[in-house]
Structure 1
Amino acid sequence: MPIAQINIMEGRSDEQKEALIVEVTAAISRALDAPEQNIRVLIQELPRQNWGIAGQSAKKLGR
């Protein structure tokens, strides 16, 4: 059973996350010839202050 774990910064809409799940599932199914019903996609949302970019938090950088 393929499992994709995706880390993103918080702030995406439910619709965007649903679209991500659909697209990642389809890509894994095509690449691995795996049935979609066996694929799991886990999205972890991280606060901007917990996401570092070039030594600073994304929150501090205004992202």
Structure 2
Amino acid sequence: MQTTGTGSRFFTVYQTDCAIELHAGCPDQEQFRVICTCLYYEQACEIARIAANLHSLPVMNFVEQCLPG
């Protein structure tokens, strides 16, 4: 299981008004919509990329860079 050095064992993808955000763990973000929580970093990156394309929003990765610009 990939933890990317953050110590997190899962990753959460959120939708905000201006971006799709990827975070380690599941920080309390009441103002954001949770899209999904994944055990694997690579899955979270892929879902973030797909959601960004569907909603025409940029991805903001708060874990590390995983998506091409």
TM-score by length of 1: 0.38
Structure index of larger Rg:
1
Higher relative contact order, chain-length normalized (CA < 8 Å, sep 6+): 1
TM-score by length of 2: 0.35
Greater share of helix = 1
